[in-house]
Amino acid sequence: MVRLTFLGSCREIGRSGFHLQEHNESILIDYGVKLLENPVFPSRVPTDDLQGIALTHAHLDHSGGLPLLLTHDDVSLFCTPATRDLSTVLLDDMYELSKARLPFSGKDIARLERQCQPTAYEETIPLGRHFEITLFNAGHIPGSAMVSVRCDTKRILFTGDFNSIETQLNAGARKNLPKHDIVVTESTYAQRVNPKREEIEEEFIQSVTETLQRGGTVLIPAFAVGRSQEIMCIFEKYNLPGKYTVYVDGLARKVNEVVIKHPGYIASPQAFERAVERTRIVYDDRDRFTAMKKGGVIISPAGMLKGGPSHLYFRMLHDDPRNSIVLVSFQIPGTPGAELLAKRKVTVNNKLFDVAADVRFHHLSSHSDADGLMDVLEKIPGDPEFYCVHGEPDSCDALAEKLGNIGRRAHVPETNDAIEV
Ligand SMILES: [Zn+2]
């Protein structure tokens, strides 16, 4: 019997971590962080019998705690090469920003690259005597994977974050997954049904072009990994006129370099290269002031106006009604982005701003919506038992209920719950 312990991301988003133990061997899947005032990690487990760690994707809520575990040379990390490089970029950035509050050093982060055994999609790797892992494309961000673990006769799937539909950047998640006994699934948007992707893209392009045509500047606060590249690809697809400059600020420029280095992990490397070619990289404050003076579209972190250069742009652009601030992802309650959407006022660096610029929201998500989640999950053969994690409590409950309604066994685990499979 294999024992599965849920170490984090139970009824919450952040700090994903799962532990599998069989006899005297164990493996881990993901080990993330929840970035609060003081970072929170998944529960700790003994690592002396650890055969390896599998990582679904680079986002810090899945990868941010790895340096705590990679303390010995004999612990290997299994993920796609794109995930390895993107995780390193994100971890280095997190370290720069919150050094003093992290329980590891820059040297520990460097181990990730050294101890990684690059793993391709669909390749099956034995870990110890009891485990075998296979990665399947999850369609969420470049390099993202679902991790399928075989332990003796049982098979357990960890979906990580996944997107069932193809976007301009990512091919969708693998269809026709093999038979599984247990599925640990994300639940992020179990309560949301999105309009068709093309409709969202068209409305987004319309918001941007309206602003540009009236002489305004568009600020798009966006996550550096995934969303920024998706936006660039949408401009390429809809042929945003070349006279409007698209500026890319912050970490996204490093991420672009990594994505170009791994063309096998995106939907269309040619389209992505064209998208990158037409953007102007912003390196410093001088470039930032030039961008605001000349106008165009500015893609800048942080995604929910939580910080980074987006604050500088916001302060310069918020009081002109010709400009617009276009939000492209769900804005978590309590963030400046959510405040801006609800009240058209926002507190930035402890100062309250009234916003005259136009504020728009287009949900260009890289997760499956409720229909997409069900579409993938209900087709997994073997009548698996489902464990719904990685979502607000209501979303985890909603997904378990939807699965229950079609006669499937589904549960919502609490942190540190363990099951025998
Ligand atoms: Zn993610």
Confidence label for 397 from pLDDT (cuts 50, 70 and 90) = very high
14 Cα to the center of ligand 1, angstroms: 9
The CATH architecture to which 3-192+366-420 belongs is 4-Layer Sandwich (3.60)
List, for residues 149-161, the tens digit of each pLDDT value: 999 899 999 999 9
Mean pLDDT for the stretch of residues 308-332:
94
| Residue in this structure with the two tokens 């499956």, named with its chain if needed | 368
pLDDT at position 72 is: 85
Q: Tell me the residues surrounding ligand 1 (ion) with CB < 5 Å.
A: 59, 161
* Tens digits of residue pLDDT in 252-286: 889 999 999 999 999 999 999 999 999 999 999 99
Q: How far is the CA of 63 from the centre of ligand 1 (A)?
A: 10
Whole-number Å distance, alpha carbon 222 to ligand 1 midpoint, is: 14
pLDDT the model gives residue 18: 98
197 CA distance to ligand 1 middle (Å): 19
In this prediction, residues 121-142 reach a mean pLDDT of 97
Token pair, residue 158, equals 């960890």
Name the pTM for this structure. 0.95
pLDDT exceeds 80 at position 99: no
How far is Cα 55 from Cα 79, in angstroms, rounded to an integer? 5
Q: How far apart are CA 79 and CA 54, in angstroms?
A: 6
CATH 3.60.15.10 domain position(s) in the chain? 3-192+366-420
Q: Which residues pair with 34 in a beta bridge?
A: 40
Q: How far is the CA of 408 from the centre of ligand 1 (A)?
A: 26
Q: At what angle do helices 370-377 and 393-405 cross, to 10 degrees?
A: 50
Query: Taking 80 as the threshold, does the pLDDT of residue 100 lie above it?
Result: no
Confidence class for position 421, pLDDT limits 50, 70, 90 = very high
Report how far apart the first and last C-alpha atoms of the chain are (Å, whole number): 6
Condensed to tens digits (0 to 9), the pLDDT of residues 34-72 reads 988 789 999 999 999 999 999 999 999 999 999 999 988
Per the prediction, the chain carries an average pLDDT of: 95
State the distance from the centre of ligand 1 to the C-alpha of 79, rounded, in angstroms: 14
In angstroms, the CA 301 to CA 26 distance is: 38
The answer to whether the CB of 44 falls within 8 A of the CB of 80 is: no
* Closest C-alpha among 326, 390, 378 to residue 161: 390
**Mean pLDDT, rounded, for 224-233:** 95
Centroid of ligand 1 to alpha carbon of 71 (angstroms): 24
pLDDT over 80 at 344, yes or no? yes
What's the sign of the alpha-carbon dihedral 315, 287, 306, 218?
A: positive
**Measured distance CA(114)–CA(27) in Å, rounded:** 19
CA distance 370 to 372: 5
What is the pLDDT confidence band of residue 73, given thresholds at 50, 70 and 90? confident
> Check: CATH 3.10.450.50 for 197-361?
no
CA–centroid distance, residue 290 to ligand 1 (Å): 33
Q: How far is the CA of 336 from the centre of ligand 1 (A)?
A: 21
Residues whose CB falls within 8 Å of the CB of residue 271, separated by 6 or more in sequence, listed in order: 168, 233, 236, 237
Q: What is the pLDDT of residues 176-200, one digit of tens each?
A: 999 999 999 999 999 999 999 999 9
In the chain, where does the domain assigned CATH 3.40.50.10890 lie?
Answer: 197-361
Rounded to an integer, what distance in angstroms lies between the CA atom of residue 407 and that of residue 205? 41
Question: What is the Å distance from ligand 1's center to 140 Cα?
Answer: 7
CB-based contacts of 243, cutoff 8 Å, min separation 6: none
Name the residue with higher pLDDT: 401 or 307: 401
